[in-house]
A and B are shown apart, each in its own frame.
Chain A
Amino acid sequence: MRRAGGFWLSLILLLGAWEAYVHLSGIGAFFLVPPSTVARRLGEWLVTGRLFVDLGASLLLLGGGLGLAAAVAVPAGLSVGLWRRLEHAVGPYLLLAYATPAPVFVPLLLMWFGFTWATRVLIVAMFAFLPILLNVWWGVRTLDASWLAVARAFGASRRELLARVLLPGSAGSVLAALRIGGGLALIGLFVAETYGVSRGVGYQTIIGAKRMDVTGMLAGLALLGMLGVGLELGLAAAERRLAPWRPTA
Chain B
Amino acid sequence: MSGGRDPRWPLPLASGLALLGVWEAAWRLGWIDPLFFSGPTAVAAVLARLVATGEILPHYASTMGAVALGLAPAVAAGILLGLVYGASAGVRRVAGPYVAFLNATPRVALIGLFVVWLGLGLGVRVALVAISAFFPVFFNTAEGVRALGASLDRVGRAYGCTRWERLTRILLPHTLPYALTGTRLAVGRSLVVVVIAEIFVGSLGGVGYFIINAGQQFQSAHVLAGALLMALTGVTLTLGLERVEAWLTPWHPRAGL
Contact = CB atoms under 8 A, between A and B. Distances in A.
Interface of A: 3, 6-7, 10-11, 14, 30-31, 85, 88-93, 95-96, 98-108, 110-112, 138, 141-142, 183, 186-187, 189-191, 194, 202, 205-206, 208-210, 212, 214, 217-218, 220-221, 224-225, 228-229, 231-232, 249
B29 interface: no
B102 to A, nearest CB: 8
| Interface pairs A-B: 3 shortest CB-CB | A209-B112, A107-B215, A228-B104
Question: Considering residues B214, B226, B231, which has the most beta carbons from chain A within 10 angstroms of its beta carbon?
Answer: B231
14 contacts: A3-B93, A89-B15, A90-B15, A93-B12, A101-B192, A101-B195, A103-B196, A103-B208, A110-B215, A111-B218, A141-B255, A183-B104, A191-B199, A212-B116
Question: Considering residues A10, A101, A142, A214, which has the most beta carbons from chain B within 10 angstroms of its beta carbon?
Answer: A101
Contacts of A231: 104
Give chain B's interface residue range (CB within 8 Å of chain A): 35 or more
Given A189-B106, A224-B105, A228-B104, A104 B116 contact: no
A76 B174 CA distance: 35
Q: Classify the secondary structure of B's interface with A.
A: helix
Contact of A101 (B7, B115, B224, B230): B230
Given A85-B11, A91-B12, A110-B215, A100 B112 contact: no
B215 to A, nearest CB: 3
Given A138-B255, A221-B110, A111 B101 contact: no
Interface of B: 7-8, 11-12, 14-16, 19, 35-37, 93-94, 96-98, 100-106, 108-113, 115-117, 143, 188, 191-192, 195-196, 199-200, 207-208, 211-212, 214-216, 218, 220, 223-224, 226-227, 230-231, 234-235, 237-239, 255-257
